[in-house]
Amino acid sequence: GIHKLDFEETLKQSNNFIYSSSVAQSGKHSILLNKENPYSPSIVLSGEELLQDTSKGNRMATVQFYYKEGVVEPGEGILVTSIESSSGIYYYKDIHFNTVSPKINQWNSISIEIPINEIKAKDDPLKIFVWSPQIHRKIYIDNLQYEIVFSKPQ
């Protein structure tokens, strides 16, 4: 199944996310990352739900991002996946937006594969989010999602 945050409805998560209507890949809103709010809302999926789905495809996290000027630098926009137990994070993988040679003034896409076999227990959640420890320009994100991608037969 697909789990998607399109940022059209204000989420009941604790941070004060900035919903922007200046650009959106779908619908009318995106999330603006800035120094005060460097994190996006998270998709949180239970280990149990992920382990129950035995589909053969690759588990992918994807997000769309947009910026209006300059060149995105390392640390400006990072798509993160993590798995944690009550004692802390034991799996962490990220990909920086600048690694996909993004284009200015258009929506760019970046993805990361999630190895479900890393989940150690059904109570351990998978988290998918974007954060931006370095911010030199406005970065908008939209359509953060988890999906199973099936490879096409050769």
DSSP state of 72: P
Of 83, 86, 89, 30, residue with least CA distance to 59: 83
- Rounded to whole angstroms, how far apart are CA atoms 91 and 113? 13
pLDDT tens column, 1-23? 789 999 998 766 656 788 999 99
pTM for this entry: 0.92
pLDDT tens column, 49-96? 999 988 888 999 999 999 999 899 999 999 999 999 999 999 999 999
Distance, first Cα to last Cα, the chain: 24
- Rounded to whole angstroms, how far apart are CA atoms 54 and 117? 11
